[in-house]
Amino acid sequence: MFKIVKKEQLSDKIYLLDVEAPRVAKHCYPGQFVIVKMDEAGERIPLTICDYDREKNTVTIVFQTVGASTEKMKDLEVGDTFRDFVGPLGRASELIEEDAQELKEKNILFVAGGVGTAPVYPQVKWMKQNGYDVDVIIGARNESLIILEEEMKQWSDHVYVATDDGSYGFKGNVNDKIKDLVNNEGKHYDLVIAIGPVIMMKFVSLLTKELGIPTVVSMNPIMVDGTGMCGACRLTVGGEVKFACVDGPEFDGHLVDFDESMKRQLMYKSEEGRAVLRTQEGDTHHGGCGNCGGEK
């Protein structure tokens, strides 16, 4: 059992939990995720790691209530436990392995949309702890949906907030703010890392391709099972079949076929749609389990 030691409501439907999970805390890195189950009969829920404390043996997860399982999860309190907390899974951010000198010479912009701010946070924190300064845009429809702003400011001196309705910070979406930084403030970026809703990452990638800025996106929003066995997170990257949970979740945003991915997500919601996908995709429908492990 994995005990909850902290609970915080970040916005109307977004919650943060600190969970005691010694093995995950000891081995995880930014970009990876865990799979949680509340009880024996519970649904497997993949969640990107928001933070970790190796000394306290805790891992921070952030989730948004979108269905029956997450509605049930929001009712958990400090002292309650998860039946399973499996991880770390997936591949860590490529920044972790990059040459230190090359990384120091790069100007990097992180773009976080909504609950996607949670997986951006550990990467920004890791960068600062290792001596690298980065810029961050946090975007949402309105002020009430902005999360982790103050926490992010602890690790970046340049955090920009953008709201679609202008209720807080810059008025406009994250793309509008990217264009403002590049065109009006003279910013130059060598890399953009965008994490948020799939539609947001699609349009960020279209813009950065136009601007000539290499871009990494995290396809964690399309994960369901977390091992590649369900076929939900199958996507095409540069003409090749990949699975977000096994091969990612981070990919080159300029190579991801976002339209195909979004169409698959709609089809996957129904049993009939899943059957059609299984038939159409044959042996490539499932990704197999390449990076399983972790705690049980």
- Domains with residue ranges and CATH for the chain: 2-89 (2.40.30.10), 109-218 (3.40.50.80), 223-283 (no CATH)
Judged against a pLDDT cut of 70, whether residue 110 lies above it is answered with yes
46 against 179, higher pLDDT: 179
Q: pLDDT tens, 268-296?
A: 444 554 444 455 545 554 555 444 433 33
- Is the pTM higher than 0.75? The answer reads yes
pLDDT tens digits, residue range 206-248? Answer: 999 999 999 999 887 666 655 555 556 777 888 888 877 777 7
List the one residue out of 112, 105, 162 whose CA is nearest residue 133.
105
Tens digits of residue pLDDT in 34-93: 989 888 877 888 888 999 999 999 999 999 888 788 888 899 999 999 999 988 988 888
